[in-house]
């Protein structure tokens, strides 16, 4: 018998069902393809460079991001996906046994990261309008509060007033996860990361930027806050190739990103109209996906998978119940999903 860690026994392995599928709308990635600059970097990359470590802490990417935001490079951190930035931030600011508060429902990895880091969790239900309840979050007394806007899996944004209230009164750090912010017409919260000592805003190249497979995420905060996250993260979380691609896409492909974002949003609204005409009630979304409450979502998703379409099913979500989350992308993919859904609803 190997000596296992007691608190790990009930931690599930994060593994949403995935098998090759003709149409995969399950993970909110960019379904339009890969940005041309990333393909160029791949073509031109020199294999010799791969035998050496990358430069520590991804300095080129930090510099490019920082100069775009008008902050110092020391106010930016990067990681192996924004997953890694979030996980590092929990380690940086919470001792094992301390509490992470978060809106519920939200990104499913957060409670998992909390458990792996030996933390207690305080889920706080979103209000009926899907905004956060600042007083309820603050009443947890948690040293770190996690917010997500637009929120995964609901797609709903948080209001400025509620987020500012939390930031103003929080006893510790407030993390604002903006993984889907490029798709949103609601204002973002990056200014809070620039001006408040206690705010970390995280973003990713996995969604609008089309680089989920390269694993690049980043975060912005005050000098003192980012210094701690950098300690927790370790030096080599970005590969040489990932850093080069992210920098190239930022420099060369802003229009490519913008065009895909516009299309994903337009198709999301077209999908919404079609779903409503089927009698369904998708939640208002500012992400590149729609949350569609329905009974027996697991069964419906299973039948859609049999028709070669993969969407994500949720069961018993706080304030939502059972629901399907359907990613937005090229219209033919969404048409295929609609056809499979029509056949799968019983």
Nearer to ligand PMP, 103 or 152 (CB): 152
The size of the interface with ligand PMP (CB under 6 A), counted in residues, is 13
Dihedral (CA of 48, 50, 55, 60) sign: positive
**Contacts to ligand PMP from residues 10-29, by CB under 6 A:** 28
Torsion of CA 231, 237, 241, 245, to 10 degrees: -70
CB nearer ligand PMP, residue 207 or residue 338: 207
CA distance 19 to 17: 7
Shortest Cβ contact with ligand PMP: which residue?
81
Is residue 260 a contact point for ligand PMP (CB under 6 A)?
A: no
Beta bridge partners of 301: none
User: Does residue 310 bind ligand PMP (CB under 6 A)?
Assistant: no
Q: Is 182 in the site for ligand PMP (CB under 6 A)?
A: no
Q: What single-letter DSSP state applies at residue 205?
A: S
Query: Residues 264-303 vs ligand PMP: string with x where CB under 6 A?
Result: ----------------------------------------
Among positions 92-111, residues that touch ligand PMP (CB under 6 A) are 107
Phi-psi region of 132 (alpha: psi -120 to 50; beta: other; left: phi over 0): beta
Q: How far apart are CA 87 and CA 90, in angstroms?
A: 5
Q: Which of residues 183-212 bind ligand PMP (CB under 6 A)?
A: 204, 206, 212
- Estimate to the nearest angstrom the gap between the alpha carbon of 171 and the chain centroid: 25
Residues 6 or more apart whose Cβ sits within 8 Å of residue 199: 167, 173, 174, 175, 176, 189, 192, 193, 221, 222, 225
Residue 323 CB partners (closer than 8 Å, separation 6+): 153, 291, 292, 293, 294, 297, 313, 314, 317
**Contact between 77 and ligand PMP per CB under 6 A:** no
Task: Choose between 111 and 217: whose C-beta lies nearer to ligand PMP.
Answer: 217
**Distance in Å, CB of 323 to ligand PMP, minimum:** 15
Q: How far apart are the first and last CA of the chain?
A: 48
Q: Site map for ligand PMP, 55-74, x if CB under 6 A?
A: --------------------
**What would the x/- binding string for ligand PMP be over residues 104 to 143, using CB under 6 A?**
---x------------------------------------
Assess 217 for contact with ligand PMP (CB under 6 A): yes
Instruction: Return the residue of 177, 182, 228, 253 that touches ligand PMP, per CB under 6 A.
Output: 177
Q: Is position 167 an interface residue for ligand PMP (rule: CB under 6 A)?
A: no
Encoded tokens for 317: 């979500």
176 in contact with ligand PMP (CB under 6 A): no
**Closest separation between CB of residue 93 and ligand PMP, Å?**
17
């Amino acid at each position: 018998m190997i000596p296992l860690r007691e608190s790990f026994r009930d931690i599930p392995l994060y593994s949403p069902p995935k098998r090759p599928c003709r149409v995969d709308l399950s993970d909110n990635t960019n379904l339009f393809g890969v940005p041309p600059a990333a393909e160029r970097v791949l073509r031109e990359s020199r294999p010799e460079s791969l035998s050496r470590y990358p430069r520590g802490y991804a300095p080129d990417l930090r510099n490019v991001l920082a100069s775009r935001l008008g902050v110092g490079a020391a106010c930016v951190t990067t990681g192996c996906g924004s997953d890694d930035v979030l996980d590092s931030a929990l380690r940086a600011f919470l001792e094992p046994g301390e509490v992470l508060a978060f809106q519920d429902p939200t990104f499913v990895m957060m409670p998992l990261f909390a458990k792996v880091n030996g933390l207690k969790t305080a889920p706080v239900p979103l209000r009926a309008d899907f905004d956060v309840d600042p007083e309820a979050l603050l009443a947890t007394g948690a040293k770190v509060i996690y917010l997500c806007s637009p929120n995964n899996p609901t797609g709903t944004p948080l209001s400025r007033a509620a987020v500012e209230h939390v930031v103003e009164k929080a006893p510790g750090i407030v993390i604002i996860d903006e993984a889907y912010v490029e798709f949103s017409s609601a204002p973002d919260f990056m200014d809070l990361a620039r001006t408040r000592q206690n705010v970390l805003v995280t973003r990713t190249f996995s969604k609008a930027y089309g680089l989920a497979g390269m694993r690049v995420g980043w975060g912005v905060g005050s000098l003192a806050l980012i210094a701690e996250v950098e300690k927790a993260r370790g030096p080599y979380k970005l590969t040489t190739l990932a850093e080069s691609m992210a920098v190239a896409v930022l420099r060369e492909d802003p229009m490519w990103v913008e065009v895909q974002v516009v299309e994903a949003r337009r198709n999301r609204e077209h999908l919404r109209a079609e779903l409503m005409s089927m009698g369904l009630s998708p939640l208002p979304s500012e992400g590149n996906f729609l949350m569609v409450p329905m009974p027996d979502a697991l069964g419906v998703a299973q039948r859609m998978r049999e028709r070669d379409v993969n969407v994500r099913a949720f069961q018993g979500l706080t304030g939502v119940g059972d629901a399907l989350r359907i990613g937005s992308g090229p219209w033919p993919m969404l048409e295929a999903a609609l056809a499979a859904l029509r056949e799968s609803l019983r």
